[in-house]
Amino acid sequence: MGVGPSALSCAYYLAQAGCQVNVFGEEELPGGKLYERTAGNPSLNAAVMRDIQGIMAQGLRYEKWSNGQSEKSLAHILHRFDAVYLPGDDNDAFSDGLVAQFGDQWWERLDPVSAQMTDQPKFFTCREYSGNGASVVEAAASGCAAAMRIWDYLNRDLSS
């Protein structure tokens, strides 16, 4: 879920590993705040657009979502998918869904190593670019790390 650098990085690596990936966002196009922050620089904005189009060309599916769409609630998304990644950005519509789904102190229930919620193992999170001080590079690295943890979760040995 989400369409900033962390989520796009996670989605890209999961798609490269053969996973079917859906990304959700409030914007008309994937890219999150990157488009907004590069709008004043046409060359940088074009480069961001080209990179995002390349990522999306890996077979990712984008769904526009807003807080008002109950059919796309976090509970529905958690039920619909095998794993859910939500970048840790307090400034988007998903934050209200997290509080509604998991309570005000949901961050306290995250395993610091796996970034999985202890009572909801299919839910993963990491740092995103806007709102919490992570750079674009740190956010992309967080997304890559999340993709590896999700891949491990999806391919865990259920026989033990």
Tell how far CA 77 is from the center of its chain.
Answer: 12
pLDDT tens for 41-69 read 999 989 989 999 999 999 999 988 765 55
Structural domains of the chain sorted by starting position, each given as residue range(s) with its CATH number in brackets: 5-154 (3.50.50.60)
Distance CA 106, CA 43 (A): 40
Helices (H), 57-124: 74-80, 93-102
Give the C-alpha distances (Å, rounded to integers) separating 111 from 16, 125, 138, 148: 26, 10, 19, 15
Q: What is the pLDDT of residue 105?
A: 76
Conformation bin of residue 27: beta by default, left when phi > 0, alpha when psi is -120 to 50: beta
Tokens standing for residue 148: 């590896």
76 vs 12: which has the higher pLDDT: 12
User: Tokens in use for 10?
Assistant: 């996670």
Q: What is the pTM of this model?
A: 0.82
pLDDT of 68: 57
pLDDT tens column, 94-124: 566 666 777 777 777 778 777 788 888 888 8
In Å, what is the CA distance from 58 to each residue of 83, 86, 95, 117?
A: 19, 20, 27, 28
- Going by C-beta distance under 8 Å and a sequence separation of 6 or more, which residues neighbour residue 52? 8, 29, 30, 31, 34
